[in-house]
Amino acid sequence: MPCVQLAGIGGSMLLLLATSLAWPQGNEQCPCINPFDSNSSDPCNTVRQSDGRCFSASFGAEGCKAYDALETPECLDADEMPRWCSSKWCYVDVNNCNRTTWKSQFFPNNDLFYSYGTCGYIDYYSLSSRRAAEFLRAHTNTYGKLRVAFPHVDSSSGYTLVGLTPYDDGRPKVTPGTGVGGTNRSGSVPVFMDRLLASERIPWEEIPVSKRSREYSPNSGYTACVHEVAIGNVDMCWANFWPTAARRLLSSFSGALYYDHFIAVTLITSGTSGFWDSLSKPFSPFSVGLWALIFGVFGFVGLVLMAKEEVDVGDGATKRRRTMFELVPLVFIPLFKGMHVLNTGEVKGVYVKSSGGWLSQFLVGFTRSIVIAVYTSLTVSSLLVEGRTAITSIDDGISKRATFCVNSDVRALVVEQFPGLANLFVDKSNLDVLEGVLLGECQAALVSENDWFKARAFGATEYCDAMTALPGTVTIVSNTVPIRQKLASAMSALIERDTEAGKYIEAQTEAKLNYTGQVCKDVGVWQTKQQFSASDLAAPLCFVVVGVLVGLLIDYIGSRYVDTAAQKIATVVDVHGDCSFHEVGKVASEHLKSNCRDVASCLSASSRRVSQLGHEVIPRVQLRRVANPSRSSPSSRAMPTDDDDCLSASSRLPFPSD
């Protein structure tokens, strides 16, 4: 790396050397000249007006050279030589030069012009604050004091420009005649600018904004002041100006004093959740699509396992596999058992024997653990952290089609950052954007941090208790000073020097302390719950109650269906009125009523068991009929008389418990 840096430095020096060698007398389109008597050898040929310093007749008159490093005290006496000292230049004929030229401020009474560009160098001297100050002093020596105007309104920030609007109790913020320069105006910007000019001994005076400029911009005192600069009535205006496109067409502007960060401010809503919000909150961590996917996957696993593996049909009964013909009418039951995995971690009621079945159960449990972990973390966050506002960000406001009050001067800048806001604006002045939200004309306001600061300093009850700022910055706008084109470069150099030294921040801090009151705290969009109320969880608890009632209704409908099915079995089995077969149907019916849950499957299993038992009982019944022929009579079929035989027959009939 050092080698690369040395190579770069060496290359630059070679380039400069080649340039100076190529143009020792300047570029042919702007040749160097000797404006003095060529035979003069006077060591004090010219005298610098500012301090009486003598310069020889060769100063600037012998082609491209670094004259300042050889004769200028600012270079000779400096501990660290300024950058411009080593730059080469020469005097030129302003009427025979197409390079940038400057009139000499060392010797303003002599008609001398110089150029760095003709020697292939940058004019760092003209860009320096020292050169800028000399230029401005020379300007005031010729034309008088710098003319300064103030907008005929105070700034919306409450401290950058003050003096016209009093405090709420009627006291003036600036006592007449005690503002900067003996005026009635003060604030961070006027104080900063006054100190800057005072440090360089550059005088200024206040000039009021003309009636013509007020007519030009009746709705904006700031734009009217820019117009005053544009028509040449004043040299600059002192306040915090946004250099909008329309204003730049009128005037030049200085470098930035500071930057405004625009934020969105909206109303604070009630912290109490509504019933439907409370009901939807447990489901909000996952989207509808994800819920459908989770239940679909687990339901599919339940269906596959119940079809593939053996099913436990009850204690003491044989475990067996269901056929697909049995599963088709029962498709919802395996699906619901699969979805129940979210609670149990496995598909219940399945006797897993195969390796594939165990693998499926493991994957189901593992996946369920991940889903529950993600769900729990998101649910806890959503329950513990609640929003204070109807919209939580600019993007959220755009998606909800919320309206935004905004100053029209910054509308274009905001749209560049957020195109979706283009059709959601309500135009307001700086002073009315926040009021528009309180009046319901818009749902949020786009304001600078300074304006929000002022609102919280002077309207704590009105704004602090009702509004809060959304997180993030919407856009950034520089705050500058409009200056006449002729003075813009010099003033910008001085402003840049002092802002980099932190002098504007000093003036800003002082102004906030002097002109603003106690600023209330911005509560923010989100808050952490310290305690849950009944309304927070009432809806989910009601959901459980409703679910239980629905379950009871389903069981009731199912029991009615079982009663009817059991009666049909009893009727069909006791075809001949035989007491044994009657008891078989009776036992089957009672069994279904007390134990059957899987209705269709239970009916199928019970029917097969009844048929099996019928085959066991028929031979015994036939023997009884031979021994007791009277039992076959119609009357005996209608009303069995041997209850002991019936009871003894039914007691020998084992029934499944599934």
| Averaged pLDDT, 167-190 | 91
CA distance 585 to 587: 6
Report whether pLDDT(502) > 70. yes
For residue 183, the model assigns a pLDDT of 94
- Most confident by average pLDDT, 69-83, 177-191, 558-572: 177-191
Q: Which of 85-89, 532-536, 641-645 has the lowest mean pLDDT?
A: 641-645
Query: Domains in the chain, ordered, with CATH?
Result: 19-123 (no CATH), 139-257 (3.40.190), 275-387 (no CATH), 394-479+502-528 (no CATH), 545-651 (no CATH)
CB 214 within 8 A of CB 191: no
Q: Could you report the per-residue pLDDT of 131-163, keeping only the tens digit for each?
A: 888 889 989 998 999 999 999 999 988 899 999
Residue 121 token pair: 């160098």
Report whether pLDDT(625) > 50. no
**Residue closest to 155 by CA, chosen among 250, 220, 204, 230:** 220
Distances 66 to 34, 123, 250, 570 between C-alpha atoms, Å: 16, 12, 39, 123
Q: Which residue has the tokens 């079929």?
A: 637
Q: Could you report the per-residue pLDDT of 21-30, keeping only the tens digit for each?
A: 446 889 999 9
| Averaged pLDDT, 449-462 | 73
Q: Is 332 exposed, middle or buried (0-12, 13-18, 19+ CB in 10 A)?
A: exposed
Q: Could you report the per-residue pLDDT of 306-323, keeping only the tens digit for each?
A: 666 555 444 444 555 555
CA distance 45 to 60: 12
Q: Is 413 exposed, middle or buried (0-12, 13-18, 19+ CB in 10 A)?
A: middle
Q: Which residue has the tokens 């609102």?
A: 455
**3-class DSSP string for 30-93:** CCECCCCCCCCCCCCCEECCCCCCEECCCCCCCCCECHHHHHCHHHHCCCCCCHHHHCCEEEEC
CB 514 within 8 A of CB 190: no
- Say which residue, 299 or 502, is predicted with more confidence: 502
pLDDT band per the 50, 70, 90 thresholds, residue 642: very low
Residue 517 token pair: 């009151």
CB 652 within 8 A of CB 616: no
Mean pLDDT score across all residues of the chain? 75
- Say which residue, 190 or 407, is predicted with more confidence: 190
Residue 9 token pair: 């430095």
CA distance 193 to 304: 81
CB 599 within 8 A of CB 591: no
pLDDT band per the 50, 70, 90 thresholds, residue 91: very high
Residue 440 token pair: 């319901």
54 strand-pairing partners:
47
Distance linking the first and last C-alpha atoms of the chain: 84
CA distance 454 to 189: 16
For residue 652, the model assigns a pLDDT of 45
**288-308 and 355-384 helices cross at what angle (nearest 10)?**
160
> Could you tell me whether strands 475-479 and 258-267 are parallel, antiparallel, or unpaired per DSSP bridges?
antiparallel
| Numbers of helices and strands, H then E, in the chain | 26, 21
CA distance 186 to 168: 18
Residue 320 token pair: 């067996």
CB 532 within 8 A of CB 386: no
- Say which residue, 168 or 642, is predicted with more confidence: 168
For residue 16, the model assigns a pLDDT of 41
Q: How many residues does the chain have?
A: 658
For residue 631, the model assigns a pLDDT of 45
Residue 171 token pair: 């006291």
For residue 354, the model assigns a pLDDT of 67
CB 54 within 8 A of CB 47: yes
Report whether pLDDT(618) > 70. no
Element (H, E) at 467: strand 467-469
Cα 211–chain centre separation: 45
Residue ranges in 309-339 assigned as alpha helix (H): 324-327, 332-339
CB 159 within 8 A of CB 187: yes
| Averaged pLDDT, 427-444 | 86
Cα 647–chain centre separation: 80
Report whether pLDDT(525) > 60. no
